Structure 1
Amino acid sequence: MPMAMRIHETGGPEAMRWEEVASRPPGAGEVRVRTTAIGVNFIDVYFRTGLYKQDLPFTAGKEAAGVVEEVGAGVTAFSVGDRVASASLPGAYATEITAPAAIFVKVPDTIADETAAAMMLKGMTARYLLRKTFRVEAGHTVLIHAASGGVGSIATQWAHHLGATVIGTVGSPEKAELAKAQGCDHTILYRDEDFVARVAEITGGAKCDVVYDSVGQAAYPGSLDCLKPLGMWVLFGQSSGPAKTFDPVMLSQKGSLFMTRPTLFSYTATPETLAETANDLFDVVASGAVKIEIGNRFALSDAADAHRALEGRQTTGSTVLIL
C-alpha cells in the first residue's frame, strides 16, 4: 500500500501522520507517479499550520520528482518510465501520487532526481523573480533576504550570474560564508546589524533596485527603506509572519515605489509557461552557473523533523525527503 503524510487537523509538525493511503489509477489526462524524492518548502508549513487554507484532511507537500508508472487516457506528453517532476503536486509527501499530467515536466538526464525535487519550487521561484517579476540585468543592485536559504541560495547565484551586485541578509557568520561562496557581494547579519543602515553604507546611499523579501513582517518596513526611488519590493513569502501593518501610502512617501506579492503558480499557469520556466532552470543548473545545494535529507516518514529544522532556521540550501 502507498504511504503518505496526512494532516487531519492543522497545527505543529506533529500534525502530520504517517498513514496508508489508497492507490488510485489515473483518469483521463492524469498520470500515476512513484515518487523518488520530495522537496520541503515553507509553503508546506503554511498549509500545515492553517495559514494557507485547505480542506481537511489532506496530504502535505507540493513538490516532488519521480517516475511515471501509469498514464491515463489522452496523455501523450509522457510515457511509462519517464522521469518527471512538479512544484504544484496535490499531496507530494507520499510514496505514490496520481495527478494531472499538465502539472509535470520531464526531467532531463543532466538532472538527478534529488536535485529536481530540491529545486523545482525554489528554482522556478528564483527564475520568475529574477527574469519576470523584476528583470535583473548587469549593473542592478539587489537585496535578497534569507540569502542562504532555499530560494535565496539559488537566487543569489543566478543574480550573480546575471551581473548584478548582490546584497544578502543572513542569520549567522556560517550562513554569511555560504552566501559569499554562492556569489553574494555583501552579507548582512540581520540579528546583529541594522540591515537598512548597512545597505545604505554598502551602496553609498544609492540603495537597491529591487528587494526580494521572503521574510515578511520582521523585515518590514525596512525592506522599503532599502529601495531607491521607483524601486520594487517583491514580497514573495512570510517566514516571520505577514506584513500586517502595510500601508500603500508608504510607497509614495518612500519614493514612488512598486510592490508586488507574486506566486509561482501565476507565472506557470499554462503548460507553455511551466515548460519555459522549468527549462530555463534546468539549463542554468546544467551549465554549472547555479548549483543546487541539498543541505538536509530526511526520510519521508520523518517529515515532522524536517519541518522542525526548517522552522527553527537550522537548514541551509534545500531540504529533501527521500524514500
Structure 2
Amino acid sequence: MKAIQIRETGGPEVLQLVDLPIPVPGPGQVLIRVESVGMNFIEIYFRKGQYKATLPMTPGSEAAGTVEECGPGVNGCGFKPGDTVAAVGVLGSYAEYALVPAAQLIKVPDGVTPEQAAAAMLQGMTAHYLAYSTWPLKSGETCLIHAGAGGVGLLLTQMAAKIGARVITTVSTEEKAELSREAGASDVIVYSQQDFVAEVKRLTNNKGVDVVYDSVGKTTFDGSLNCLRPRGLMALFGGSSGAVPPFDLIQLSGKGSLFLTRPTLWHYISTRDELEKRAGDVLNWVKSGDLKLRMEHMYPLTEAGQAQSDMENRRTTGKILLEP
C-alpha cells in the first residue's frame, strides 16, 4: 500500500511517499480501507518533533473508510466488512489502509459520506466538548473564539450560536471574516487591522467575555486573559503560533480570579459512551444539515507536504482532507 512516512523531523519535505505492507489486524483491531483522511495540527507537531514519536512513523490521527477485515474478538463489537466507519486518535492514517482498535471506531450514519465523516470527527468533537463540557455555554453568554475561520472555529461558532450564545471571533482577513459571520458569529475582529483586546472590551462595554476558546497560543495568550470577565475561563486547546512561555499563576488572581485549562479531546472521549455520544451528535448534525462543513481543500496523499504547509501558513479555511 502507499503511505506517507517520516524518517526524520523537519519541514514538509520530510513527508515521504513509500510502499508498505498492508497491515494484518490483531486481536480487537479492525483493518479499514482509508477513503478520506482529516488533517490536523497535531501531525505538524509530530513532523517537527514538538511531540515525540518513534521514527520512522506514518502520521495521521483521523480517517474514514470501509471495514476491510476484522481481527479476532471484534465480532461482538458490531463491525463487519463493508461498514463505513470513522476514527480519531489512531496514528497511521496517512495511508491507503490503517489499523484501528475497534473500541475507537465509530459507525458512520447512512447519508454521511466518508469525506464528511473525516472532516467532522476530530474537529467536531473538539468543538462539542469545548461548548458542552469544558465551559457549558448557556444562552445569553458571550464567548471569544480565535481562528474563527479555521476548522474547529467554524464548527464551534455554529454550536455556540445554536445554543444562543453571543459569539465574537478573530480572523486574519476580511474574506475569512465573511465565513465566520456565515457560521453565526455576532461580531468578527480582523486582528491584522484591529487590537482584539480593545475591540472585545468595546463590544462588551468593558465587561469582558465569559469564556475564551484559544487554539493559537503564544501570540494570543496574554490578550485572551485580558478579554475575560472576573471568574471567566480560558480554554487553551492548541498552539498554532507556538507554545506559551512559562506563566506565573498569580496573574490569574490579579486579572479577576480567572480559570485556565489546557484540555485535549482524548480526556473528553475516554469512555465508549462518551465517544459514541459526541460522535453521534456531530455526525447526526452533519446528516441533518444543522452542522455545515467546509471541505474545499482536498489534496491527494502524494501532496501531504503541500497540504501541511498550506495549513501551517494559514492559506486555507475549514477542513483539509487527504485522498489516498
TM-score range, shorter chain: over 0.9
> Residue in 2 aligned with 1:80?
81
Distance 1:149 1:98 in 2: 29
Where 2:219 maps in the other structure, the secondary structure is helix
> Residue in 1 aligned with 2:212?
211
Distance 1:295 1:159 in 2: 23
Amino acid corresponding to residue 121 of structure 2 in structure 1: M
Deviation at 1:287, TM superposition (A): 2.8
Distance 1:315 1:247 in 2: 35
> Residue in 2 aligned with 1:27?
26
> Residue in 2 aligned with 1:43?
42
Where 1:93 maps in the other structure, the secondary structure is coil
Where 1:233 maps in the other structure, the secondary structure is strand
Amino acid corresponding to residue 154 of structure 1 in structure 2: L
Residues 216 and 242 in structure 1, CA contact (< 8 A), matched pair in contact too: yes
Deviation at 1:220, TM superposition (A): 1.8
Where 1:55 maps in the other structure, the secondary structure is coil
1:1-323 pair list within 5 angstroms: 2-75=1-74, 76=76, 77-323=78-324
Q: Alignment RMSD, CA only?
A: 0.9
Distance 1:208 1:107 in 2: 36
Amino acid corresponding to residue 22 of structure 1 in structure 2: P
Residues 297 and 320 in structure 1, CA contact (< 8 A), matched pair in contact too: yes
Alignment deviations for residues 212-241 of structure 1 (CA, whole Å, 9 cap, x no partner):
000001002000000001100000000000
Deviation at 1:284, TM superposition (A): 2.3
Distance 1:3 1:38 in 2: 14
Distance 2:250 2:153 in 1: 28
Alignment deviations for residues 165-209 of structure 1 (CA, whole Å, 9 cap, x no partner):
000000000000110011011000111111000000011111100
Distance 2:248 2:85 in 1: 42
Deviation at 1:289, TM superposition (A): 2.1
TM-score computed with the length of structure 2 as normaliser: 0.98
Runs of 5+ in structure 1 lacking a partner? none
Identity of aligned residues (%): 47
Distance 1:278 1:25 in 2: 27
Alignment deviations for residues 107-129 of structure 1 (CA, whole Å, 9 cap, x no partner):
00121110111111111100011
Residues 158 and 289 in structure 1, CA contact (< 8 A), matched pair in contact too: no
Residues 34 and 97 in structure 2, CA contact (< 8 A), matched pair in contact too: yes
TM-score computed with the length of structure 1 as normaliser: 0.98
Runs of 5+ in structure 2 lacking a partner? none
Distance 1:245 1:186 in 2: 31
Distance 2:100 2:106 in 1: 13
Residues 120 and 278 in structure 1, CA contact (< 8 A), matched pair in contact too: yes
Deviation at 1:90, TM superposition (A): 1.6
Distance 1:116 1:280 in 2: 12
Amino acid corresponding to residue 224 of structure 1 in structure 2: L
Q: Greater shift after overlay, 167-176 or 285-294? A: 285-294
